Structure 1
Amino acid sequence: MNFKPLLFLILFCHFSCKQEIVAPIKETKVEIKKGILLPKFNVLDENYKKKKRKEINTFYTENIATDDFSGSFLVAKNGQVLLEKYTGYSNYGKKNKITPSTPIHLASISKVMTGVVILKLIDTKKITLDTSLKTLFPEFPYPKVTIQTLLNHRSGLPNYLYFTDNDTIWDKSKTLTNKDILKLITTKKVELDFVPNSKFSYNNTNYTLLALVIEKITQLSFAEAMKKLLFEPLDMKSTFVFEIEKQKDTVSKNYKSTWEEIPFNFQDGIYGDKNIYSTARDILKLDLATYSDDFLSKEIKEKAYKGYSYEKKGINNYGLGIRLREWDDETIMFYHNGWWHGNKTSYVTLKKDTVTLIALSNKYTSKVYQIKRLSSLFGNYPFTIDDEE
């Protein structure tokens, strides 16, 4: 990729002095938490880091930090942060600034975390990919809907974001819950859109049901299960599941591009597909953990990081809780975008090159999706722009 020459060296130097930066990981083997050891990562050469930092900063300045950007930005290789920036407000009215520890609504990046916990339950033999939802919820009417078809969006279930918007199906004066969605499907007020595992259809309903699976298996609330199985083991101290009745007045606000606040609605009580708040640094911890066979087994990762939908030609695909772009030369980009209210988010993990790219915004902008373009700084990833969730 050709970048314009660095025109804002003064701004870059100002940022370096002003902003808090994660200390590079210097060890060749890093322990995230007791019992979870990472593979050996090479320590990056100082000249390499300096060169990449300048290129990334130029990209950030010209493509992300425009139109009063509000959010977080982080790029790391081999677990070593090359550049991170935090700007804007978690609460514009109070002028509360976004910092490295400010949690932002992840929108659909939440699916990555929900998916990881499901994979961990599979690793511990609590469930399998072939487990039918009906075996866990006998009232569920579709026996061919399995854990795998929920994870890879091949279940055939309709999207609750659309069918609950129908006044004849749901009273919008009431906050919708995950159990309500299960009940609506169980009573067949909504039916399958297609035969399970016959094609791909990205669908939030899948991950609301996976959240119920986590609750069923662990006998904990989704918030407690995620904390116990994921957030605490990885020391993700700024990450939590949003509980609307408890936290609606304290979390980071959602904004339109004009800084007009977007209020919560009847669908904001649903979790699993969304409603996890986190930071760029915590997402980096999760990304690094996925390289460890102590965290997720090699066997389950091989199943997670591959495509399942090849009915249509193209580079886009979906694994188990992660999106893929697959090119003819076997290059693969793993990523997930998000969009909920004013929050737009993007997480890219280049497994072959041990690179992590993260952009989170709580003020509406599609520019965060352009972070994928930075992939070409680290490997043979074709230039792409994706403005879709």
Structure 2
Amino acid sequence: MKKFLFLILTTVVYSYANAQDLSKRLDSLFNGQFTAGQINGNVLVADHGKVIYKKSFGYADIANKILNTDHSAFFLASVSKTITSTAVLQLVQKKKIQLNEPYKKYFPNFPYADVTIKNLLSHTSGLPRDMEDVFDTVLKVQPQKKFGYHDIIPALQQYHKPLAFKPGDQYSYSNINYNLLALLVEKTSKMPFDAYLKKYIFTPAGMTNTYLSSPQLLQKSDVTLRYLYPKHYYPHLKLADSIPEIANIYKNYTIFWGQGNVISTTTDLLKFDQALYNNKLVSAKILDEAFKPTILNNKQEAVAGGGVSYGLGWFILKVKPSENIVLHTGAIQGLRSVFIRNLTKQQTVIILDNAQSGTNFITASNAISILDNTPQEKVKISVADKYAKILFESGSDVAASRLIQMQADTVHYRYSAHEMDFIANELLNDSYTDKALEALKVNLLLNPTNPDMYNSYGKALNKAGKKTEAILIYKRALKLKPDNKEAQKALSKLEKDSSHN
């Protein structure tokens, strides 16, 4: 009896110590990303439904110094597609629809007869990716009109273009697919999409802080504002909706449910995760179908790229043959979301970020690696991004000294000549010519055998009126690569212009 009690006590102590160690390692991971400026939002990590790490980082409202908290709510962006998929699969389970039925059966005016419900769920329909593609023709006739997802089928009737490929032949991600699925849920359930989700998904799962955003519904005060860097070189986060280019994208559009627009919290997403595990929403048999790679007409898997396949509303990541990991990511201006579920081990990682941090998927994957005690992928900071921000705000001398430090620290920083070239050209296009010249010169000195860097520097010199210097640079580019068409054309024009002066 004493041995038995000792064994139990030892097991409890070991489990507690292990949980403490995991929490410390996760905290080190996420704090490191926060310090590097790579996370601003909420994270949650769970094992078998038990939260082992949860933390808030940064601001929900920068101007008013309101921090993100456990109660902060975020737009889920395309993570919402997992919820739309669940709604459709519920209707399959209730035998109100069948996956292989043509969508046209429910919407006779839909112009593509061969597209099935499964094609929409699996992004194998061949339909355009976004609303801008679909409404381009209509907007030319009605430039002031505002459109919503109920206008998609009439717009497709005026689209007058064939599908990109035969349905089922290829995988091609499309938000339009999921807008159409929202319409299908409404048609077959005889309920508005938001009301259906509340009754059949949010309420059964206990997701009390989750809802669909709409112009008619005033967002709750705990919804985070969304921020981004308007350009790579810009050193401060700006409110996404304050940037004219972003506001202009949406000036003709209202509600496009199905593809996104769900607002939620990390806690509520864990409740959704657990409701799926416990088959509160959909049967295990149907979910198994959703979590398998879609098979194309050629009998190959629908591959989304990077070793990731797509099922029915879920990306499928095969890291190990013995493990099944499903996930979805989301991105809109000023927001990134990641929802990863290791089905085999019942591990869950959720990141909701309201500052468009670019490394959240790798960070979430590293959290899974910590849980499994496997090597993590090193997340390195972009030298070009940091250098350009310092150059823009503090000038060339400060930027150069910082560049030398970063170049030496290869553990934490990575240098890409093409990234530096891209950001320098952003500066050039925005008429920060002197700063662009400095960045391009530095990039050229660091990459003296790359003809593309000479092309960019020559273009900037020419724009700055330094024709003689531009000619010399283009000549050097042609020595490195005699068939450099861009340099040939630019040099010919410069020499022609010089002969006329």
Shift of 1:274: 0.9
Kindly indicate whether residue 195 of structure 2 is the aligned counterpart of residue 217 of structure 1.
no
The residue that corresponds to 1:204 in the other structure is 175
Kindly indicate whether residue 63 of structure 2 is the aligned counterpart of residue 84 of structure 1.
no
Question: Contact conserved, 1:77 with 1:354, CA < 8 A, in 2?
Answer: yes
The residue that corresponds to 1:329 in the other structure is 321
Question: Contact conserved, 1:158 with 1:191, CA < 8 A, in 2?
Answer: no
Alpha carbons of 1:253 and 1:327: their partners in 2 closer, same or farther (altered >3 Å)? closer
Q: Which of 1 and 2 has higher RCO (CA within 8 Å, sep 6+)?
A: 1
SS of equivalent to 2:259: coil
Shift of 1:189: 3.9
The residue that corresponds to 1:282 in the other structure is 268
The residue that corresponds to 2:292 in the other structure is 306
Shift of 1:139: 0.7
Q: Which has the larger radius of gyration?
A: 2
TM-score (norm 2): 0.64
- Any idea what the Cα deviations from partners look like across 1:28-71, whole Å, max 9, x if unmatched? xxxxxxxxxxxxxx999212211110111111111245328421
The residue that corresponds to 2:228 in the other structure is 256
Q: Partner amino acid for 1:374?
A: A
Q: Indicate the percent of aligned positions where both proteins have the same amino acid.
A: 28
Question: Contact conserved, 1:268 with 1:275, CA < 8 A, in 2?
Answer: no
Shift of 1:330: 4.2
Equivalent residue pairs, number: 346
Which blocks of at least 5 consecutive residues in structure 2 are unaligned? 1-11, 230-235, 242-246, 296-300, 380-501
Shift of 1:212: 0.6
- Any idea what the Cα deviations from partners look like across 1:281-301, whole Å, max 9, x if unmatched? 000011111112343212201
Shift of 1:87: 2.6
Q: Partner amino acid for 1:337?
A: T
After superposing the two structures, state which structure 1 stretch, 280-289 or 304-313, moved more: 304-313
Q: Partner amino acid for 1:260?
A: K
Shift of 1:138: 0.8
More helix by share: 2
SS of equivalent to 1:336: strand
Question: Contact conserved, 2:137 with 2:159, CA < 8 A, in 1?
Answer: no
SS of equivalent to 2:239: coil
- The CA distance in 2 between the partners of 1:63 and 1:205, in whole Å, is 34
Q: Partner amino acid for 2:366?
A: R
SS of equivalent to 2:53: strand
Shift of 1:361: 0.8
- Any idea what the Cα deviations from partners look like across 1:62-82, whole Å, max 9, x if unmatched? 124532842110101011111
TM-score (norm 1): 0.81
Question: Contact conserved, 1:334 with 1:350, CA < 8 A, in 2?
Answer: yes
Shift of 1:135: 1.0
Which blocks of at least 5 consecutive residues in structure 1 are unaligned? 1-41
Shift of 1:207: 0.5
Shift of 1:350: 0.4
The residue that corresponds to 1:344 in the other structure is 336
- The CA distance in 1 between the partners of 2:39 and 2:98, in whole Å, is 42
- The CA distance in 2 between the partners of 1:375 and 1:322, in whole Å, is 17
Question: Contact conserved, 1:104 with 1:277, CA < 8 A, in 2?
Answer: yes
Q: Partner amino acid for 1:276?
A: V
SS of equivalent to 1:233: helix
Aligned counterpart in structure 1 of residue 81 of structure 2, from 108, 111, 132:
111
Please list, as runs of the form range in 1=range in 2, the aligned pairs for 1:59-70 lying within 5 A after superposition: 59-64=29-34, 66-67=36-37, 69-70=39-40
